[in-house]
Amino acid sequence: MSTDTTSAIGQVEGEGATRHYDVDNPAPYIEAPRKRTGKTPKSTRGNFEMAAWLFMRLSGVVLVVLVIGHLLIQLVLDGGVSKIGFAFVAGRWASPFWQTWDLLMLWLAMLHGANGLRTVINDYAERPNTRLWLKGLLYTATVFTILLGTLVIFTFDPNIR
Amino acid sequence: MATPVLDKTEETSGASPYITVTFRIRRFNPEVSEHAVWEDFQLEIDPKERVLDGLHKIKWDQDGTLTFRRSCAHGICGSDAMRINGKNRLACKTLIKDINPEKPITIEAIKGLTVLKDLIVDMEPFFQAYRDVMPFLVTKGNEPTRERLQSAEDRERFDDTTKCILCAACTSSCPVFWNDGQYFGPAAIVNAHRFIFDSRDEAGEQRLEILNDKDGVWRCRTTFNCTDACPRGIEVTKAIQEVKRALITRRF
């Protein structure tokens, strides 16, 4: 477990001392987190993390308007939740404005939530396999919901039997 | 009676200032057992003394095998950061009376780094992250014959982050670092901030690029644990957000 740091700054106290963990010296082994080798890339996917961070802020602001407006119309104004029925939805989706509203809300909310869960998985799932499966499940569910929702909004037929 | 005043004070201060406190210390010795155990120590101590004094009393009078780091013992060197009553603090800046001595005082090593023995952790990953952000002045061109001058306002810009003593209290209080040691951690970002916002330095762009990494500033979840833990009162989370802002405004 030598620290192969290709740093130009030179050796620092304690570095280079090899430590052995075996039966006589069973310290819990944590792999050196910032181990640097010659093959370690200098920068990795940096811009994606920045874009994701920025997207969370911007989509959050837009979603506040979209979701509160949506809740007001659906649940509070003009008779509240009791008015919602097939006819009500069909009437709303007859207008391109509400189609766009719902489409935007669907995409932003799903991506916002999925990205949030991605960071939660990154922070809490410790084993690589757990991470892989949780993220796989998350991405599958996200893509499925977004595609199905988009399909319904675009191909909605008010005269369906 | 050459010194009557001294005699008198000795008589009047009959009540002992000492109280009995219990130190509950997380002991770990890899040569004895692979498990860490809590061990209680009872000691008589003045509540106005510091936790470090209590640790000294234990090491010198009760159990010489107790192992911990300390150098200056006055909050400057940053050697004795430890988790006292569940919070990261410097043992040399924490008074016994401030941390509820009626109950046992729990003392353990800082989290997220490999424990080597008792309260000593392997600081190498922490310093590796520190070295990765190039914590030194980088300039181009000819060396000036005099010192590099700077206005008071330019100095004020990064004044807060010059106070860091590299004790690792912030980094080892960060939940993101606990789970993934690849994260640079607050301390490295604070020390990058100190040079990024220094008007004399010319490698700010390079440092920003390093912190733009996927293990860089974007992993910060603004939980403010680092700001709470910093024994020097540095607004660590604010510094991290300033680096984020610099990264965003640089691009757009």
Tens digit of each residue's pLDDT (9 = 90 or more) over B217-251:
998 989 999 999 999 999 999 999 999 999 888 76
Interface check B69 vs A, CB under 8 A:
no
What is the CATH superfamily name and number for domain B16-121? Beta-grasp domain (3.10.20.30)
The answer regarding whether domain A46-155 maps to CATH 1.20.1300.10 reads: yes
Range(s) of chain B covered by CATH 3.10.20.30:
16-121
Contact call for residues B99 and B51 (beta carbons, < 8 A): yes
Distance from CA of A48 to the nearest CA of B (A): 8
Listed in sequence order, the DSSP H helices in A9-127 are: 46-71, 86-93, 96-124
* B105: three-class secondary structure by DSSP: strand
Quick one: DSSP state of residue B50? B
Instruction: State the Rg of chain A over Cα.
Output: 26
Interface check A126 vs B, CB under 8 A:
yes
Interface check B124 vs A, CB under 8 A:
yes
Nearest CA in chain B to A17: B124
Inter-chain residue contact A9 with B30, CB threshold 8 Å: no
Tokens matching residue A65:
């308007």
pLDDT over 80 (residue A12) = no
Tokens matching residue B240:
């991290």
- A-contacting residues in B 80-99 (Cβ below 8 Å): none
Query: Among A27, A53, A119, whose Cβ lies nearest the Cβ of B116?
Result: A27
pLDDT tens, residue by residue, A53-96: 999 999 999 999 999 999 998 888 877 788 888 888 888 888 89
Q: Which residues of A touch B125 (CB under 8 A)?
A: 32-34
CATH class given for the domain over B124-138+148-251: mainly alpha
Inter-chain residue contact A33 with B213, CB threshold 8 Å: no
The pLDDT of residue A38: 52
Interface check A13 vs B, CB under 8 A:
no
| CA count, 13 A, side-chain hemisphere, A30 | 19
Question: How confident is the prediction for chain B on average, in pLDDT?
Answer: 90
Residue B230 burial (CB count, 10 A): 24
Query: Among B132, B212, B251, whose Cβ lies nearest the Cβ of A34?
Result: B132
Q: Which residues of B touch A44 (CB under 8 A)?
A: 213-214
Q: Which residues of B touch A36 (CB under 8 A)?
A: 128, 132
Which range (A45-54, B19-28, B79-88, B164-173) has the least confidence?
A: A45-54
Helix or strand holding residue B25 (H, E): strand B19-27
- B-contacting residues in A 127-156 (Cβ below 8 Å): none
Q: Which residues of B touch A35 (CB under 8 A)?
A: 128
Interface check A50 vs B, CB under 8 A:
yes
pLDDT average, residue stretch B12-39:
88
pLDDT > 90 in chain A, percent? 40
Q: Which residues of A touch B179 (CB under 8 A)?
A: 123-124, 126
Inter-chain residue contact A43 with B212, CB threshold 8 Å: yes
Domain boundaries, chain A: 46-155
pLDDT tens, residue by residue, A104-129: 999 999 999 999 999 999 888 878 89
Distance CA B175, CA A145 (A): 31
Quick one: DSSP state of residue B95? B
* A80: three-class secondary structure by DSSP: helix
* A25: three-class secondary structure by DSSP: coil
Query: Among B33, B182, B212, whose Cβ lies nearest the Cβ of A33?
Result: B182
Q: Which residues of A touch B115 (CB under 8 A)?
A: 27-28
For the beta sheet containing B37-45, the strands, ordered from the edge strand earlier in sequence to the opposite edge, are B37-45, B19-27, B105-108, B81-84, B87-90
pLDDT over 80 (residue A11) = no
The contacts of residue A7 (CB under 8 Å, 6+ apart) are A36, B131
pLDDT tens, residue by residue, B94-120: 999 999 999 999 999 999 999 999 999
Query: Among B181, B214, B216, whose Cβ lies nearest the Cβ of A33?
Result: B181
ipTM (interface predicted TM): 0.71
Separation in Å, CA A26 to CA A20, A30, B117, B124, B178:
9, 12, 11, 19, 21
The pLDDT of residue B27: 95
pLDDT over 60 (residue B193) = yes
- For chains A and B, CB pairs below 8 A equal 86
The pLDDT of residue B181: 81
The pLDDT of residue A133: 95
Higher local confidence (pLDDT), B244 or B214 = B244
pLDDT over 70 (residue B12) = no
pLDDT over 50 (residue A6) = no
Q: Is B157 exposed, middle or buried (0-12, 13-18, 19+ CB in 10 A)?
A: middle
Range(s) of chain B covered by CATH 1.10.1060.10:
124-138+148-251
The pLDDT of residue A152: 92
Question: Which of B121, B218, B221, B223 has the highest number of chain A CBs within 10 A, making it the mutation to test binding with A?
Answer: B218
Question: Which of A34, A115, A134 has the highest number of chain B CBs within 10 A, making it the mutation to test binding with B?
Answer: A34
